[in-house]
């Protein structure tokens, strides 16, 4: 599968996203929660893909939790970029990427679909993510 690369502004956090999509066909969502709205995040996932997220300096990988507390929002503590959200579901890691961090973000074409997940229980949220999010691995101290 082709690989789409992404990184935070300073390059400390990176991802390599294996997906059947190109930037032109990648479905995009704008989550309406206050966190995603304040970051202007564009969510992208591919349940048939795979992503490896790496942090060169683990000290500068900031994990932020709010709400149900079942998601780690990964931010770079150096440059402030929000890179991805990750969650562990039944022992497996899944991610939703911020497509604005893609190196090829200028090629994104899909109209983002606004979605609100308010009112979901933790169980509903895990079940949805296990279907829709991208199987992921987070590696620290990698580059």
| CB closer to Zn ion, 29 vs 74 | 74
| HSE-CB for 46 with a 13 A CA cutoff | 21
Question: Does 78 help bind Zn ion (rule: CB under 5 A)?
Answer: yes
Burial 48-75 (b: 16+ CB within 10 A, else e): ebbbbbbbbbeebbbeeeeeeeebbbbb
**Number of amino acids touching Zn ion (CB under 5 A):** 6
| CB closer to Zn ion, 10 vs 28 | 10
The stretch near Zn ion (CB under 5 A) out of 3-11, 35-43, 65-73, 105-113 is 3-11
Shortest distance, position 80 Cβ to Zn ion, whole Å = 7
As a residue count, the chain comes to: 143
**Applying CB under 5 A, which of residues 10, 52, 68, 89 lies at the interface with Zn ion?**
10
**Applying CB under 5 A, which of residues 28, 33, 52, 79 lies at the interface with Zn ion?**
79
**Applying CB under 5 A, which of residues 4, 6, 8, 97 lies at the interface with Zn ion?**
8
Question: Does 12 help bind Zn ion (rule: CB under 5 A)?
Answer: yes
| CB closer to Zn ion, 76 vs 87 | 76
**C-alpha torsion 118→121→124→128, nearest 10:** 40
Handedness of CA 10, 43, 132, 74 (dihedral sign): positive
Question: What residues contact residue 5 under an 8 Å CB cut-off, 6+ apart?
Answer: 14, 15, 16, 17, 102, 103
The residues binding Zn ion (CB under 5 A) are 8, 10, 12, 76, 78-79
């Amino acid at each position: 599968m082709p690989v789409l690369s992404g990184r935070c502004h300073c390059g400390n956090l990176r991802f390599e996203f294996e997906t059947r999509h190109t930037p032109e066909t990648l479905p995009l969502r704008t989550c309406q929660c206050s966190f995603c709205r304040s970051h202007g995040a564009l969510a992208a996932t591919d349940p048939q893909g795979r992503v490896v997220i790496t942090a060169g300096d683990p000290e500068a990988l900031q994990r932020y939790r709010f709400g149900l507390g079942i998601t780690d929002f990964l931010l770079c503590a150096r440059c402030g970029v929000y890179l991805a959200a990750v969650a562990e579901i039944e022992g497996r890691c899944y991610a939703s990427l911020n497509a604005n961090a893609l190196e090829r973000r200028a090629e994104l074409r899909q109209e983002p679909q606004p979605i609100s997940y308010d009112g979901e229980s933790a169980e509903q949220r895990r079940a949805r993510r296990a279907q829709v999010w991208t199987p992921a691995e987070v590696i620290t101290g990698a580059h």
